[in-house]
Structure 1
C-alpha cells in the first residue's frame, strides 16, 4: 500500500489536466450504498417483491405515474446525505486548476454539492426535477420541503432529471465527457466497477499518460492502468490529501 501511495503522489504532482470518472463507490462514505451491493437499493427493493429496473423505468412512469412518484419520494430523496472527503478533494483540484472536471455515473448530485462546477452527470441528477407536461423545473430542496408531487403550474407529474431504464443518455453530456477524457493527461477512475455500458466504454477514449483506478474490487480495465489500488477510497485520499 505504501508503495502505491508514493506512486500515486508522484502521478498527481506530475498531472495538470486530471479528469475524474466516478461511480457509486465514491458516495459510500456519504452513506449511500452501491446500487447493486449487498444491502444496497437493489436488494432493498427486491425484498419487497419488485423489480428495481421496472420501478426506475419509463414503463412504470407511464403505467403508474402516482406509484412512480411515491417510489422516488420513498427511495431516492436522501435529505441527510452530504459530500465526503473524496467529493471535496475532487472539487478542490478543479478549483486549483489542476483538473478538467468530473464525469460521474452517480445521480446523487454530491459532486455539485461539494463545489465541483464542471460535472458531466451521465445518468442525470436528483438535484433537479421537472414536470413531464410543461417542463417547469424544480430543485430537490424545494420538492422535499414542499413534499411536492404535482406540478404547481399544470398539476401534472414531476420527475427527477435522471436517466430511467428505457431512456438513452444525453448526447451533449456524452460529448462533453469524451472531450474531457481525450484532453486529460491523467484519468482517475474512482469507485466504479466499469461494467455498466455505455458509460464504462468512455474509458477507451483516454489517450493520456496515466490511467489510475481506485476501487475496492478489480475492473475489466485494470490491465490498462498505470496504477490500480483496491482499497477504501477515503483512506487513500487521506494519505495523499496533504500534498495535493
Structure 2
C-alpha cells in the first residue's frame, strides 16, 4: 500500500470525531463540471454580455427571473449525476458515528443523496426550490420531472435554494460548520483549493490534531497539514477502502 494511503488509514482509524470539508473537485469526480467549465456556458454568457458572476447573482434573478430559471434548467440541473465513492465513504463514516458530518461548498446535493445526514451546505442546495412569491417548496426531482419554471400554486417564478452573488451566507449554517470544526479531532479536506472566501477561511477555526488535504493542486494550508495527498481523490479513497 502507498505510504500516504497507509498514513491516511492510520489517522482515520484512530480518529473519533472527523469533520469533512469538500469543494468542487468531489463533484467533478461525479461528472459535474466546475461552473466555468460547463460546455457552452461561457459562449452564451459572452453573447449576452454577462459575466459568470452576474448570471448567478441576485441582481440577475431580480431583473430577469424567467431567464434565471431557464438558465438553471439548462446548465445546473444534472439529473443523471450520482454520488461517487468519496461521497459514499463520507456518509459511511457518519453512519458509524466516527464523523460529525460534512461542510461543503457545493450546491449539487450529492452528499445528501449519498446518505449523509449532517450536511452544512455553505452555498445552499439545488435539491430544493421555492416560489419567489408564496415560498412554496419543491424538490429538484419535482422540478426536473415536471419541467417546473413557475409555481403551480400561484404562477410566479421559482428559484433554487442556493446562495447567489449578492446574498449573505446562512448564519445558522456557518454556526453549525464552525461547531463541526472546533469539535473535530481530524479534518479531511477533499477537492477544494481553499481559496474561495469566506468559506475557505472557516478552515482556520479547526483546532484538532490532524488536518488532511486531498486535492490535485496545492492549497494555502498545505504547510499546516498533517498529510497532503496531491492525487485523484477517487483513486485515493478507493485504495483506502480496499485496505480496510
Give TM-score scaled by structure 2 length.
Answer: 0.96
Count of paired positions: 240
Q: Look up the match of 1:76.
A: 76
Matched, 1:227 2:205: no
Q: Distance in 2 between matches of 1:184 and 1:208?
A: 6
Q: Look up the match of 2:182.
A: 182
The root-mean-square deviation of aligned C-alpha atoms, in Å, is: 1.2
Matched, 1:34 2:34: yes
Q: Look up the match of 1:95.
A: 95
Q: Look up the match of 1:133.
A: 133
Q: Look up the match of 2:21.
A: 21
Q: Look up the match of 1:124.
A: 124
Secondary structure at 2:10 match in 1: helix
Q: Distance in 2 between matches of 1:46 and 1:29?
A: 21
For residues 135-154 of structure 1, the aligned pairs below 5 Å read 135-154=135-154
Q: Distance in 2 between matches of 1:52 and 1:132?
A: 22
Deviates more, 1:45-54 or 1:133-142: 45-54
**Residue 42 of structure 2: which of 26, 46, 49 is its match?**
46
Secondary structure at 2:107 match in 1: coil
Q: Distance in 2 between matches of 1:31 and 1:200?
A: 23
Checking the alignment, whether the CA contact within 8 Å between 1:15 and 1:98 is kept in structure 2 is: yes
Q: Unaligned 5+ residue runs, structure 2? A: none
Q: Look up the match of 1:192.
A: 192
1:155 deviation in Å? 1.0
Q: Distance in 2 between matches of 1:173 and 1:92?
A: 22
Give TM-score scaled by structure 1 length.
Answer: 0.96
Q: Look up the match of 1:241.
A: 241
1:45 deviation in Å? 2.1
1:34 deviation in Å? 2.3
Q: Look up the match of 1:203.
A: 203
1:176 deviation in Å? 0.1
1:243 deviation in Å? 4.7
1:153 deviation in Å? 1.3
Q: Distance in 2 between matches of 1:17 and 1:243?
A: 21
1:44 deviation in Å? 3.6
Checking the alignment, whether the CA contact within 8 Å between 1:45 and 1:51 is kept in structure 2 is: no
